[in-house]
Amino acid sequence: MLDQLQLSTFEPLVGQRFVLRRDIGDATVDLVLAEATALAHGEGRPRTPFSLVFRGPAEPVMPQRIYRVDHEELGALELFLVPIGRDAESVRYEAIFT
């Protein structure tokens, strides 16, 4: 399903809640989709590459890896998330689609 997703899938979802499922029991972390941005288009690619940036709580900082992320409309997605920044209130995570 991930290969079917487009930037246009996520643009209307900016500001909405996604739920990251942790491996510790039923623990979850709430994320908010902060940005959905087109990246430079590579030749021969079936879709325009894009980036999603999520904002989560300052703690815990989730390490870089694949997580199950649930959304009310999209359902469950397996996303490779990378922490890209942190401030006093939050941590930002990025997922890249090529």
Sequence-distant (≥ 6) Cβ neighbours of residue 68 within 8 angstroms: 20, 21, 76, 77, 78
Collapsing DSSP to helix, strand or coil, 8 comes out as helix
pLDDT at 43 over 80: no
What per-residue confidence (pLDDT) applies to 42?
62
Instruction: Flag whether pLDDT at 18 surpasses 90.
Output: yes
Considering only CA atoms, which of 19, 35, 22 is closest in space to residue 75? 19
pLDDT at 22 over 70: yes
Q: Where are the domains of the chain?
A: 2-48+55-97
SS3 4: helix
